[in-house]
Every structure is written in C-alpha cells, then in structure tokens.
Amino acid sequence: MKFAARMSRLGTETAFEVMARAKALEAKGKSIIHLQIGEPDFTTPKHIIEAAVAALREGQTHYSPSAGIRPLREAIVEEVYQRRGVKSKVEEVIVTPGAKPILYFTILALIEEGDEVIYPNPGFPIYESVINFVGGTPVPLPLIEEKDFRFDPDEFRSLVTNRTKMIIINTPQNPTGGILTKRDLEVVAEVARQRKILVLSDEVYKNIIYEGQHESFYSLPGVKDFTILLDGFSKTYAMTGWRLGWGVMPEELAQKVEKLMINSNSCTSTFSQHAAIQALKGPTDEVDAFVEEFRKRRDFIVAGLNDIPGISCITPKGAFYVFPNVKNLNISSQKLEHHLLNEAGVAVLSGTAFGKYGEGYLRFSYANSIENINTGLERIRKALKNLSN
Ligand code: PLP
C-alpha cells in the first residue's frame, strides 16, 4: 500500500506500545508491574456513573450538537469562571472526545508549512507529532531538572522568531510532574502579546497538585484573545475511557474546530456529556481523595527511587508522574526501559518517549497501589544489580 507522505511524519505515544509489549509478556505468564500508564487507576466517582446510567435510561442515545450540549458548555463556562476567574461565552467552548482532539484540531486549523511551534521537551509526545504531521516546525523548549523541570526564560525568548505562530505550555506537566510558576507564565504572556503569538495552555492535570494552587495561564490579564485553554475529564475524574475533553478559545477558532468535529467525530458521546455536567457540579470528595492518595504514592516512590544506587529523583509538585535521573547508570534510557520490562517485569517509559531532552531519564506513573509500587522498586533494584554484573 502506498501511504500519504504525511503518515511518515506522524509520531506516537510509546505508552501504548509498551503496554502492548507488557501485555504480550503477561500472556506468556510473566508478572508485570505497570508503571507506564498515564491514567488514574481509580474508578470514576459514583455520582458521575449514576448520571450516565440515568441519561441512557432517559434516552440520551442520539447525536448531540457537534460543539457539545449547551448545559455542559454552560457548566464549563461556569467552571472556567470559578477556577480561573475569567468570563467566557458558550460559543467559545467546544466539547470533544478527550482533550486530545482540541490539540489536534486547533493545530490543524492554525499551523501550516513554515510555521514554528514552541513546545515543552520533554513533553507530551502528541505535541511534536501533530506539529510535524500538519507540516509545521516543532521547536523544542528544554525543561531543566535543575529548575524543577521549568524552562529558562532567556532560552525561551531566544527560540522565538518571526515564524513562531504558537507556543504550547503544560502545567502541571507530563512527564516530569513539574509546574510552572506565575512568573514563568507571565514571561510567555509578555512575549506572546508583543509578537502576536497564540498560546495553547494544556491544563489537564490542574487538579492534581500537591502544593499551593494551580496557576492558570488563562487567568493572566488580557491573554484570553490569543489563548486556547485545553482541559478535560480524563485525569481529574478518572474518566480516561469515557473520552471527554474541552477547550475554550476565541470564537472564530471555535467555529473552525466545530467544523473539524463535524468532519470527524460528529459529536462527543451524548450520555457521557450529561454525566460530565455532574462531574463539574457534583461533590468533590472522591476527587479530593484521589489527590491525597496520589500524594502518599508520590512520597513513597520518590523515597524508594532515591534509595536505589544510580538513580536520583526530585519531588514533583503535580500530576502523577516522577521523572528520575538515571544518567549515573551509564545506559541509554531506551535500553534501560527494555531491560526493566524484560528482566524485572516492570513497565516504565524511557524519557526519550517525551522528546530528545528526556535522554538520561525514565518516566514512572504512580497510578498504581503502594504495594505494587513497592514490588516494582524491589524488582528494579535487583535488575540493576544484574546490569552492573
Ligand atoms: N495533555 C496531556 C499533557 C496529557 O498527558 C494527556 C493524556 O495523557 C492529554 C492531554 C490528553 O488526555 P485525554 O485525551 O484523555 O483528555
């Protein structure tokens, strides 16, 4: 088959590939501890499930408007006001199957050949993949361990050119768990305003934060006109399999994204959208408990990793990932990923799955029980001894 040339530019998310390899080993009887998956291991809160069941029983089984049902878009407008202090309109909100399509469709609508997009590296691999796919030029912005995986403002400014069309930021961050400070966000806002650059602010981990409050780019004064706010239900509410996300963006862009929805998904699942209203408006106790449980696991895994010779790990402030430095083990991150899966039966991701600045690191997701994390760490300790023998 002769594929379109653009397919050679499309990247992937290695997490899904490692999961497939891990499952193949499990099928052969090998025990695997899964620390590669970017999704909460909790069940979706009960009241949200009940709302979905009720919606199905009420007959919410038909197409919905492509941009989303109005009551959900209104609830999102309210949530953005409550959480970010910014007034938006229903016409600026688009609901999509997961937050990924907001990323994909806004880049598809805006970026063309020759346009440069600055994006965090290491970062969510889909940024680089989609920029390449549409013919844009990805410009990696290094995130630096010594700065708690924030970027250097001078380095950031040096990457901006006359061709920069968009800047992607992500806080709390995948894969490092780092968060950007208000000052970092202000630097981006200053540059974007001066140079008329669009900003895509990916805030899907905004609720999973262990110190202080989430600083949203969207809350900065005067940025709304050039910002796409991307958020969703997957991570906060343990709803990855429901496929529910949303974006808030200037109305003229929202119209283009709606058109892309019409041409692709038609709409997001209707009964899921009804349940999503309950996610936004219902009780938060279960979601708060998720974060407290993640905090315990974070402290456990950070201490455990730092106890393994050759590994050092800073304490992340958000999300449910750690990004330990493994440079002292003198093996490439990719080889180490394979060694740990095949020898230790522990599935983790090479830092390079998140871009070239991820070399020398691994990503662990601690969306797993303390018991399993403990077993995983013990196995890694043993497997690394074999490595040096
Ligand atoms: N943005 C980041 C940084 C992510 O890590 C993910 C998922 O892993 C997404 C966006 C997309 O999430 P979803 O499409 O499940 O809403």
Q: To which CATH superfamily is domain 5-44+285-388 assigned?
A: Aspartate Aminotransferase, domain 1 (3.90.1150.10)
**Ligand 1 atom nearest to CA at 101:** 14
Tokens 């900003």 belong to residue: 199
Find the 104 Cα to ligand 1 centroid distance in Å. 11
Tokens 């991820």 belong to residue: 358
Find the 387 Cα to ligand 1 centroid distance in Å. 34
Amino acid making up residue 222: G
CATH 3.90.1150.10 in the chain is located at 5-44+285-388
Checking if the pLDDT of 15 tops 90, the result is: no
Copy the structure tokens of residue 199: 């900003």
Residues 211, 20: Cα–Cα separation, whole Å: 35
Find the 210 Cα to ligand 1 centroid distance in Å. 19
CATH 3.40.640.10 in the chain is located at 46-281
Indicate the top mutation candidate among 129, 235, 237, 242 to test ligand 1's pocket, ranked by most ligand atoms within 8 A of CB: 235
Find the 103 Cα to ligand 1 centroid distance in Å. 9
Copy the structure tokens of residue 287: 């979601």
Residue partners of 289: CB distance under 8 A and separation at least 6: none
pLDDT at 388: 64
> Is there an atom of ligand 1 within 6 Å of 100 CB?
yes
Topology of domain 46-281, per CATH? Answer: Aspartate Aminotransferase; domain 2 (3.40.640)
Residues 162, 228: Cα–Cα separation, whole Å: 20
What are 346-370's pLDDT values in tens digits? 999 999 999 999 999 999 999 999 9
Copy the structure tokens of residue 121: 């590296």
> Is there an atom of ligand 1 within 6 Å of 98 CB?
yes
Contact 362, 323 (CB under 8 A): yes
What are 301-315's pLDDT values in tens digits? 999 999 999 999 999
Global pTM reads: 0.96
Q: Cα–Cα distances in Å, from 85 out to 169, 221, 229?
A: 19, 10, 13
